[in-house]
Structure 1
Amino acid sequence: MYTLNLNINESKEYFDKNFYNQDSSYLILSTPKELNLIKKILDIDDITFKDCMNFDENIKLDLFDNYDFLSINTFELENNKALIQEINIYLSDNFILVVVKDDNFIFKYVKNMILGNFNMEDNPTVSLFKINYLIFKSIIINGFESLEKVEDMILDIEDQMMEKVSEDQISKINYVRGITRTIVKNTRPLLYIGDRILKENIRYLKYSDVKRYNLDNLQGIDFGIDKLYNFALATRELADKLLDLYSSKVGEETNDLITKLTILTGISAPLTIITGIYGMNFKYMPFLNFTYGYPIILLLMVIIVLLGLLIFKIKKLL
């Protein structure tokens, strides 16, 4: 557990039961397992406490008397896999509590802020507002970065198909389509959160002295969420188009094969006619008793083949 006292700019990397004072402002970082240590100290209710203990796909924004509780899902691309994790944030008048697993990017980000990489404001309350904004901003930026990685995966598959189509590519296409659908599914609820934050006057918009500052920031966050969702939709459409490209390339290869078979048939047709004629059982036939008749016919067949290849080559069918 990590804590930062915004009044005296003091950070701690361990749990201290005497760390909390109602007259000071704090940034607190906890894992779900550590939350029980500060549950009574911060007067956390049982419902949100249970929400922090168990992962679910529900995104929430609950407004309480003592704090506002926000639960959202974030996504990261790790080893070409979409990793969905939950972030729970308590927004109080004098503290921000972030509850998240220690392998999440937000845990590392907030930890970095606590350990001295955060520019404090003169007013601790303003610092809380700023922290709230920066956390949301980090979530959005990470979303864009993850989507860019997915886009690179899609473009890589597309480049491979432009060179040569193979059967294993269809499984890659379906896999990346699954990732994009998971991302869109977990990004869409953020639109709801952004709208509620602005419309329902959450805690950090109730203070007249800093409302304008924080309102501008939250409007920027709402705009960023819209852009992130649109990017997610565009990435999903790009992934879906891979199927069309795959079908098109397979069709091209099939047409190319059919064209070659047609050319082969066209070249072999005269040969079939000649062999058919000389396969007839007649007593009197041209060249039948001619000494050089057989090699002449063979030579004629070769000339026909070469002439056919030359014609199709000139017409750029080969």
Structure 2
Amino acid sequence: MNILDLTIDKLYNNTKSDFFHKSNYYLILCTPEELKELKDPLEIDETTFGECLEFDDSMKLDVFDKYDFISLNTYKLENKNLYLEEINMYLADRFILVVVNNDNFLYKYINDVIENKHTLSKTPIVSLYKINYLIFKKIMLNGFENLELVEDIILEMEDNIMNGVYDNNISDINHVRSLTRTIVKNTRPLLYIGDRILKENIRYMKASDIKKHNIENLQGIDFGIDKLYSFAISTRELADKLLDIYSSQVTEETNSLITKLTILTGIASPLTIITGIYGMNFKYMPELNYHYAYPITIFFMILIIVISLLIFKIKKIL
């Protein structure tokens, strides 16, 4: 747990001391397990407290009298597998509390902000609202970074399919399509949250004295969310096109095989006729008594094969 008192610029690593003063401003970072220590000092309600302790798929923005509660699902791509991670935030007039597992990208980012303070303002209230903007910005950047990784996987698969189709292609395609659908599903609620932010339904847009510091940044966040969702949709469409590419390659290979079989049939037809003729049981076939009849017949059969191949080559069928 890390607690930064923005008013007196003091860092706490636990709640044993009486750290919380209602007149000060705070940035607080903790894990779900550590939230129990903050429940009473920050007057956190039972409903959101329970939601922070267990992972769920719901994403929401709830407005309370004392704070606004935001729950988001972010995602992380590792070894071509997608892992969902929950982020819960309490945005109050005098504190921002971020509840997230310590292996989450946002935990590391906020911990860096707290320890280095290089992005903070000398005015505590401005710092608080700036942190709000930085958190949303980091969440968006994480989304873009992971979408780019998924896009790279799709493009790599596309190149591999163009070089040849294999039995595992379908399972790989279905896997990456599932990834993109999960990403779209967990990106869509950000549109709703971004719209509510700009419609002044959260406290950081209601305070007229700070609105001028925050409105341009939050408008940028809303625009970025739209871009992120559009990127997610285009990535999903790109994944869906892999099926078309696969089907096209399968059809092309099938057509190529049929063409080769047709060529083989065309070459074999005259040979079949010759062997059919000499397989007849006629009593009088004059060339049967000729000493060189057999090698001459074989020669003509080979000549037919060579001429047929040359014709197919000239016609660019082979």
TM superposition score normalised by structure 2:
0.98
The answer to whether structure 1 residue 300 and structure 2 residue 309 are counterparts is no
SS of residue paired to 1:33: coil
Letter in 1 for 2:84: I
Measured after TM superposition, the shift of residue 83 of structure 1 is 1.0
Q: Deviations over 1:79-98 (max 9, x none)?
A: 21111111010011110000
The answer for the alignment partner of 1:39 in structure 2 is 39
Task: Find the aligned partners of 1:81 and 1:13 in 2 and give their Cα distance.
Answer: 34
Measured after TM superposition, the shift of residue 122 of structure 1 is 2.5
Within a 5 Å distance, the mapping from 1:1-318 to structure 2 comes to 1-318=1-318
Task: Find the aligned partners of 2:60 and 2:154 in 1 and give their Cα distance.
Answer: 32
Task: Find the aligned partners of 2:241 and 2:206 in 1 and give their Cα distance.
Answer: 46
Measured after TM superposition, the shift of residue 278 of structure 1 is 1.0
Q: Deviations over 1:159-191 (max 9, x none)?
A: 111112111111111110010000001001111
Letter in 2 for 1:4: L
Measured after TM superposition, the shift of residue 209 of structure 1 is 1.5
Measured after TM superposition, the shift of residue 14 of structure 1 is 3.4
Task: Find the aligned partners of 2:286 and 2:196 in 1 and give their Cα distance.
Answer: 96
Task: Find the aligned partners of 2:102 and 2:194 in 1 and give their Cα distance.
Answer: 25
Q: Deviations over 1:20-69 (max 9, x none)?
A: 11111110001000000010000001011011011111111111111111
Task: Find the aligned partners of 1:272 and 1:120 in 2 and give their Cα distance.
Answer: 88
TM superposition score normalised by structure 1:
0.98
Task: Find the aligned partners of 2:286 and 2:90 in 1 and give their Cα distance.
Answer: 102
Letter in 1 for 2:182: T
Task: Find the aligned partners of 1:49 and 1:154 in 2 and give their Cα distance.
Answer: 39
Letter in 1 for 2:229: Y
SS of residue paired to 1:296: helix
Structure 2 unpaired stretches of 5+: none
Task: Among all aligned residue pairs of Structure 1 and Structure 2, give the percentage whose two residues are the same amino acid.
Answer: 62
Task: Find the aligned partners of 2:297 and 2:119 in 1 and give their Cα distance.
Answer: 94
SS of residue paired to 2:16: coil
Measured after TM superposition, the shift of residue 15 of structure 1 is 3.5
Task: Find the aligned partners of 1:286 and 1:265 in 2 and give their Cα distance.
Answer: 30
Measured after TM superposition, the shift of residue 200 of structure 1 is 4.1
Task: Find the aligned partners of 1:69 and 1:34 in 2 and give their Cα distance.
Answer: 17
Q: Deviations over 1:285-317 (max 9, x none)?
A: 241211111111011101001111111111111
Letter in 1 for 2:251: G
SS of residue paired to 1:19: coil
Measured after TM superposition, the shift of residue 119 of structure 1 is 2.8
Task: Find the aligned partners of 1:281 and 1:142 in 2 and give their Cα distance.
Answer: 83
Number of aligned residue pairs: 318
Task: Find the aligned partners of 1:16 and 1:112 in 2 and give their Cα distance.
Answer: 23
SS of residue paired to 2:33: helix
Contact 2:32 2:101 in 1 (8 A): yes
Between 206-215 and 98-107, the greater mean CA deviation after superposition: 206-215
Task: Find the aligned partners of 1:9 and 1:223 in 2 and give their Cα distance.
Answer: 33
Task: Find the aligned partners of 1:313 and 1:73 in 2 and give their Cα distance.
Answer: 59
Letter in 1 for 2:124: P
Contact 2:12 2:19 in 1 (8 A): no
Contact 1:2 1:15 in 2 (8 A): no
Between 237-246 and 79-88, the greater mean CA deviation after superposition: 79-88
Task: Find the aligned partners of 1:15 and 1:285 in 2 and give their Cα distance.
Answer: 112
Contact 2:87 2:100 in 1 (8 A): yes
Task: Find the aligned partners of 1:193 and 1:304 in 2 and give their Cα distance.
Answer: 75
Q: Aligned-pair RMSD on alpha carbons?
A: 1.1
Contact 1:90 1:97 in 2 (8 A): yes
Between 98-107 and 109-118, the greater mean CA deviation after superposition: 109-118
Task: Find the aligned partners of 1:119 and 1:227 in 2 and give their Cα distance.
Answer: 25
Letter in 2 for 1:16: K
Task: Find the aligned partners of 1:187 and 1:33 in 2 and give their Cα distance.
Answer: 26
Q: Deviations over 1:72-113 (max 9, x none)?
A: 111111221111111010011110000011111011111111
Task: Find the aligned partners of 1:224 and 1:209 in 2 and give their Cα distance.
Answer: 25
